[in-house]
Structures are given as structure tokens and as C-alpha cells.
Chain A
Amino acid sequence: MFLQIFIGCAAIAGLCAGPLAGELRAAVQEAQPPTAGEPVRQAPADATCEGCVTIPALTLVRLEILAPLGSKVSKSGDTFPIRLAEPILVGGREIIPAGVTGMGEVVHAKKNGGGGGAGELVLAARYLDIGARRLRLRSLRLTEVGESRINTVNAMNLASAASPLPVALIGFLIKGGEVTVPAGRVAEAKTAEAFVLPLPTPVAVAPPVPAAGNAPENTSSVEGNANEVP
């Protein structure tokens, strides 16, 4: 009798152990903070979050570039600091304040060259650090090309055909313009994804002092979740 009950219990425990262990493992993994090398995991967007606000994907943001960049000084793959120049507003309400920092990347940098070749610089905005999370960015409108003098050199070459002197060789010494992006330059980018976060705490308004002693306790004028922006 006891043996049958024991076997039954053991079987149930065996069946339950697998899924339970899986859930436990997942819970432990979620609880562990990301290590230094790991990218910060994006919190899943909670569509049912009450008192949360969503910054829609492709929202325009104005960014300030904090380091001087240029086709001469920058290299492809370099990163550079950026800062939110203007707050992100949703429904007229400031959700992310100006000053939040992040990172951009030099996608392509090429020095100017002989023959009138101009310097080139292609930049990308990568993310803004919002607390422990990252708001991914895209579509930085800052691709610059220096003044090209290829046409000038080509015109010289044509003219030199009529000249007994090798004037065309001078063309090798003529370089195009470089591109310089000074620190503090402001450019537009877009958010790459919808970003859900708790509403920022509104400015607390002192409640009126009740005249009688029957005022309910724990009265709050703030509705919804009043968590701070992480």
C-alpha cells in the first residue's frame, strides 16, 4: 500500500521536476545582472503596463555630438559620445530629459586625396542610456562630404593637352576639402524601436489642509504609477 503511494509520489515528482527546474533556471538567469561584456538586455515592452508611456519608434530626437570628428582625424569604427539636445516629449509631456548621454559610431571616414578627392564622413547614432536600459537610435542625418575638386583637376587635364608643359601633374597635388564636425554640433536622428517606460514623477502639489478631522488618510493627487524614469 505504502509502496504504491511512494511510487506514485516519486512519479509525480519526476514529472514535475523537469518543468520546475526549467522555470527555476530561467528565474535565476533573469535575476542575474548582465556582466560587463554583455550588452544590456532590453526590457520587454509591456503593452499592459499601467502608468507607463511608450515612445513610438521613429520619433525624432535631436542629438548633440560631444567630440570633434572629421574625415582627417576619425577612423571607421570609432565611437563618440552623444547627448540628447532636446527632451523627448510624448503627448506634450517630457519623458526623457535633455542631457541623457549615449554613443554614436563612425561608419566611414576617408581623408581627402590627390586628384581633387574630397574627405568623407558617415556617422551613425547607436543608443541613448536611459538608466540601465538602452534606447536604440537610427537614421542620424549627418553624412558629410568635403568640397570635391575632381572637376577642377579634370578641367586642368583637358587644358594641359594644349600645353607643352606637363601641367596635368599639378592635379596630383590638388586635394579636395576635408570634413570637420565640431563638438557641439546638433543633428537629428530617430528612435529605432518603441520604448516603454514608467511615467516620470509629476511635480507634487501640496494637498489642501482639511478643515475637519475626517479627511481620509493616504490621499494622493497623483494617479497611476509615479515611478521615476530609470
Chain B
Amino acid sequence: MKFRKPAIAVITLATLAAPQFAAAQAKEKAKSEPIAIPAPPPGKGQIVFFRPGGMGFAVGCSVNEKGQKVSSLGAGKYFIMVAEPGRHEFSVKSEAKDVLALEVEADETQYASCKIKMGIMVGRPDIRPATEVEFRGTKNLKMVDVDDMGPGEGALRPEQVAAALAGPAPVAEAPAPENPQP
């Protein structure tokens, strides 16, 4: 009888705390899980644009190609753009314009990052080539909201990314055979 009350209290506490603990664990797991980037569609390439958080969070970094908005890129956000192989030129603009040209290769993923550097009145976005290591090393990145994406077929929408990830086995970069027979 003496031990009954404390035992009930412990069980009640454990029952109440369990879902909270599980939710916290799930959140932590979701945080630590790496962002899944699908392989580009066969014959096409893709670029992952991302922007680490930090200074200049209030300044936008709107990525454009040929005068058309691909997507805005807020602090701590990323988006994926599927593109035809070849040279692509992207620009970002505030009080100064910055341009980045990339060679998109079929079946390959490239990375580009945007940072806000010092300006006279407002910060200036600086777009530059990046690597997957830099992308993976940037913590707490989230996909750009659909509202911030351009009107055209630029940035992949979340449902398109989900479909690409759930679709047939992605056509990964085919490794070159080492010693194929003639």
C-alpha cells in the first residue's frame, strides 16, 4: 500500500511523457535527416540553389534566368531547378547585380549558393558556385515556399520533388566501365 501511490504516479508520468518524448525524438530525427535530392530526369541536369542563414536575412535573393524569376531564396532556404544541358546564366539583383553562369550537364546535379554581402543602402546578394559538401554542411535548410517560386517551370514544387523521389529508380550518373571489351 505504501509503494502503490508512488508506483501509480510514476506510471502516469511515464504514460504522459512518452508521446512528448517520441515527438521530440521524431523532430530531432527529422532535423538530422539529410535533405533528399532526387536525380534529375534522364537527359536533363539540375541545380540546387541554397542560401545559408546569417546576415542580411531581410534582403531577398531572387534568382532569375533570361529576365524571368526562377525563385526567391530566403535565408536558410533551398530550391531545385531542372534544366536542359548547356550553359545557363543566372542573375540576382538588389542595388547591384550579380551573375553566375554554369554548365549544366545531363544527369548531374550542381550546386550554387547565395550570400548577402555589404552594400551602401542595402545588402547585395552574391551568387556563386558551390559544392554538395557545402550544401550538406549548411544546417536547417528548408525548401522555398511555393508562393516564393517563379511562375514558370523553374523551381521544382514540393510535390514534384516528392514524386521524383518516389518515382522509378533514379537514373544515377552511369559510371564509366573500367575495362570494357571492344
Contact = CB atoms under 8 A, between A and B. Distances in A.
B122 interface: no
B88 to A, nearest CB: 9
Interface residues of B, number: 31
A157 interface: yes
Interface string A124-151: 1000000000000011000101001011
Task: Give the interface size bracket for A toward B.
Answer: 35 or more
Contacts of B175: 58
Nearest to B174: A58
A81 interface: no
Contacts of A172: 118
Contacts, number: 88
A115 B103 contact: no
Contacts of B66: none
A89 B179 contact: yes
B43 to A, nearest CB: 13
B73 to A, nearest CB: 15
B180 A199 contact: no
Nearest to B124: A115
Interface string B94-105: 000001111101
B176 A91 contact: no
A181 interface: no
Interface of B: 54-56, 87, 99-103, 105-106, 108, 115-119, 124, 126, 128-130, 173-177, 179-182
